[in-house]
Amino acid sequence: MLIIPAIDLKNGKCVRLKQGDMEQETVFSENPVEVVKRWRDEGARRLHIVDLDGAIKGRPVNHEVISEMVLSCGDIPIQVGGGIRDEETIQGYLDIGVSLVILGTKAVTSPHFVSDACLEFPNHIIVGLDVREGKVATDGWSKLSRHDALDIAKGFESDGVNSIIFTDIGRDGMLSGVNVEATAKFASELAVPVIASGGVSSLNDIKSLCAVSSEGVAGVVVGRAIYEGKVSLAEAQSVANEYAEQP
């Protein structure tokens, strides 16, 4: 299972939010490129970058700094989300070396766009579903839709997405523990890999997710916990590797 450090960008800085609230930010670094180098040096096997300003504005805002981050990451795959609403933006990110592009709001509001993107950019498309009580939120979590998360995920699976990020937005940035039960239940209903996100607070959360990896949980995005030192990236990945080696 992949342990994927999150780097959220706001005004060109590395921040973490509480439950997606743009007014409740903690700045962890003024230099996101140095953050990339840190996680690279600590053994990250993939990075998760989100343009928070882009998610609100509906278009990339931190594209320049993301380009610099990609150049500094070496051969580590990078997945990017936030404000990706058209094929030109997807192509632009792939052109600078991004490996995977995350569709969020656009995927929910225009599902046909996911189908078209998967055809145009096969194996490069991830859908990120921000979920509260089984329903999907959009527009930087500011709007709760009527869409059932599992139903819409099955449609994206049929479209050929690379994977689906399942974020429990009631827990994201709160260090309150991962909703392992909901994540495992969601993943077990799908054939496409599911990446957990939201609420990681300790190594026990990593262990709990590893224990349900057979349900289809292929990775976990970790944010505040690694920035505040509650979880060591290297130790978390070591634990995940040990689970993978078990018969």
Sign of the Cα pseudo-torsion (210, 79, 130, 32, in order):
positive
Tokens of 126: 């991830």
Catalytic one among 53, 130, 168, 205?
Answer: 130
- Answer yes or no: 86 catalytic: no
- In a 3-state reduction of DSSP, which class is residue 239? helix
The CA distance from 40 to 5, in Å, is 10
CA distances from 12 to 15, 40, 68, 69, 197 (A): 9, 19, 11, 11, 22
Catalytic one among 8, 51, 159, 205?
Answer: 8
Tokens of 148: 């059932």
- Answer yes or no: 130 catalytic: yes
Give the chain's radius of gyration (CA, Å).
16
Catalytic residues: 8, 130
